[in-house]
A and B are shown apart, each in its own frame.
Chain A
Amino acid sequence: MTQVVLFNVFNGLIVGAFYALMALGLSLILNLSGVINFAHGGFLALGAYLAYTLIPYIGFWGALILAPPLTAVLGLVVERLLIRPLYGQDPLYGLLLTFGLAYIFEDVTRFIWGAQSVPFQVPAWLMTSLSSQLFFITGYRVFMVIIVTVAVGGLFAVLKYTRLGMRIRAGTRDLDTVSTLGVNVRVLRSLNFGIGIYMAGLAGVLAAGLLGLSPTIGANLIMPSFVAIIVGGLGSLLGTLIGGLLIGVASGLAAVYFPSATEAVIYVMMGLVLLVRPRGLLGEEGRMH
Chain B
Amino acid sequence: MANANPRRISRRRLVKSGLALGGAQIFGPFVMRARAADAVKIGLDNPLTGTYAALGKNELVGCQMALEAINAKGGVLGRPVELIVEESTSGDAGVAVQKARKLIDGDKVNFLLGNVNSALSLAMAQVSNEKGVLHIVPGGHTDAVTGASCHWNVFRVCNTTQMEANAVASALVKEYGKRWYYITPDYAFGHTLEAGLIKAATALGGTRVGGDLTPVGTVDFSSYLIKAQAANPDVILFLLGGDDMLNALKQAVQFGLDKKVHLAGAQQEMEPLEGLSPEARIGTWVMEWYWNQPGVPHVAEFVEATKKRTGRVPTARTWFGYVSTWTCALAAAKAKSLKAVDMARALQDFHLPPEIALGPNPAFYRAGQNQLLASLFVGEAQAKGSAPDDLFKVTKVVDGAQVAGPLEESGCKMTWPT
Query: A254: nearest residue on chain B (CB-CB)?
Result: B223
A145 close to B (CB within 8 Å): no
- Would A260 and B213 be within 8 Å (CB), given that A36-B14, A212-B246, A215-B53 are in contact? yes
Instruction: Give complex CA distance A43, B257 in Å.
Output: 32
- Would A106 and B49 be within 8 Å (CB), given that A220-B219, A229-B14 are in contact? yes
B293 close to A (CB within 8 Å): no
- Would A286 and B272 be within 8 Å (CB), given that A15-B220, A214-B246, A262-B223 are in contact? no
Chain B residue contacts of A230, Cβ below 8 A = 11, 14-15, 18
Which of A59-67, A72-80, A124-132 lies on the face that meets chain B?
A124-132
Which of A6-14, A159-167, A198-206 lies on the face that meets chain B?
A6-14
Query: B274: nearest residue on chain A (CB-CB)?
Result: A116
B223 lies within 8 A of A212 (CB):
no
B243 lies within 8 A of A214 (CB):
yes
Residue of B53, B218, B222, B246 with highest tally of chain A CB at under 10 A: B222
Query: B49: nearest residue on chain A (CB-CB)?
Result: A106
Instruction: Give complex CA distance A142, B186 in Å.
Output: 30
Instruction: Give complex CA distance A34, B17 in Å.
Output: 13
B309 close to A (CB within 8 Å): no
Chain B residue contacts of A11, Cβ below 8 A = 222-223, 226
B218 lies within 8 A of A221 (CB):
no
Select A280's contact among B11, B272, B278, beta carbons within 8 Å.
B11
Select A135's contact among B12, B18, B256, beta carbons within 8 Å.
B256
A115 lies within 8 A of B57 (CB):
yes
B205 close to A (CB within 8 Å): no
A289 lies within 8 A of B223 (CB):
no
A287 lies within 8 A of B18 (CB):
no
Say how far A4's CB is from chain B's closest CB, in angstroms: 5
- Would A226 and B230 be within 8 Å (CB), given that A91-B7, A260-B213, A287-B8 are in contact? no
A127 lies within 8 A of B254 (CB):
yes
A193 close to B (CB within 8 Å): no
- Would A255 and B227 be within 8 Å (CB), given that A91-B13, A132-B256 are in contact? yes
A129 lies within 8 A of B255 (CB):
yes
Select A103's contact among B5, B29, B254, B274, beta carbons within 8 Å.
B29
- Would A135 and B257 be within 8 Å (CB), given that A117-B272, A287-B8 are in contact? yes
- Would A8 and B226 be within 8 Å (CB), given that A140-B254, A176-B5 are in contact? yes
A216 lies within 8 A of B51 (CB):
yes
Residues in A1-54 with C-beta less than 8 Å from chain B = 3-4, 7-8, 11-12, 14-15, 30, 34, 36, 38
B32 close to A (CB within 8 Å): no
A256 close to B (CB within 8 Å): yes
Say how far A36's CB is from chain B's closest CB, in angstroms: 5
Instruction: Give complex CA distance A107, B276 in Å.
Output: 22
Say how far B155's CB is from chain A's closest CB, in angstroms: 26
Query: B22: nearest residue on chain A (CB-CB)?
Result: A223
Q: Secondary structure of the B side of the interface?
A: helix
A252-289 contact mask (Cβ, 8 Å, vs B): 1 or 0:
10011001111110000010001000111001111111
Select B10's contact among A120, A256, A289, beta carbons within 8 Å.
A289
Q: Secondary structure of the A side of the interface?
A: helix
Residue of A251, A259, A261 with highest tally of chain B CB at under 10 A: A259
Chain A residue contacts of B15, Cβ below 8 A = 230, 270, 274
A83 close to B (CB within 8 Å): no
Instruction: Give complex CA distance A127, B259 in Å.
Output: 13
B230 lies within 8 A of A117 (CB):
no
B3 close to A (CB within 8 Å): yes
Residues in A206-245 with C-beta less than 8 Å from chain B = 210-216, 219-223, 226-227, 229-230, 234
A147 close to B (CB within 8 Å): no
Select B11's contact among A114, A121, A287, beta carbons within 8 Å.
A287
- Would A118 and B214 be within 8 Å (CB), given that A255-B227, A274-B15 are in contact? no
Instruction: Give complex CA distance A12, B51 in Å.
Output: 24
- Would A135 and B223 be within 8 Å (CB), given that A226-B18, A230-B11 are in contact? no
A70 close to B (CB within 8 Å): no
- Would A121 and B214 be within 8 Å (CB), given that A211-B219, A287-B3 are in contact? no
B5 lies within 8 A of A210 (CB):
no
Chain B residue contacts of A182, Cβ below 8 A = none
Say how far A218's CB is from chain B's closest CB, in angstroms: 11
B275 lies within 8 A of A95 (CB):
no
Say how far A2's CB is from chain B's closest CB, in angstroms: 11
A85 close to B (CB within 8 Å): no
Instruction: Give complex CA distance A221, B243 in Å.
Output: 13
B37 close to A (CB within 8 Å): no
Select A219's contact among B25, B215, B256, beta carbons within 8 Å.
B25
Q: Name 29 A/B residue pairs within 8 A (Cβ), A-sorted.
A: A4-B226, A4-B230, A7-B226, A12-B223, A34-B7, A34-B8, A38-B17, A38-B21, A91-B9, A103-B29, A107-B29, A110-B53, A115-B53, A115-B57, A117-B246, A118-B274, A119-B275, A119-B278, A136-B222, A136-B225, A136-B226, A210-B251, A229-B14, A252-B223, A259-B212, A259-B227, A260-B213, A263-B218, A288-B11
* Partner-B contacts on A (CB < 8 A): 3-4, 7-8, 11-12, 14-15, 30, 34, 36, 38, 87-89, 91, 95, 99, 103, 106-107, 110, 114-121, 124, 127-129, 132, 135-136, 138, 140, 174-176, 210-216, 219-223, 226-227, 229-230, 234, 251-252, 255-256, 259-264, 270, 274, 278-280, 283-289
Across the A-B interface, the 6 shortest Cβ-Cβ residue pairs? A117-B275, A255-B223, A286-B3, A259-B212, A116-B54, A260-B213
* Partner-A contacts on B (CB < 8 A): 1-3, 5, 7-15, 17-18, 21-22, 24-25, 29, 49-51, 53-54, 57, 186, 212-215, 217-220, 222-227, 229-230, 243, 246-247, 250-251, 253-257, 271-272, 274-279
Q: A36-B17, A262-B218 are in contact. List 8 more A-B contacts (CB 8 A).
A: A11-B223, A136-B225, A210-B251, A223-B22, A255-B224, A284-B3, A286-B1, A286-B2
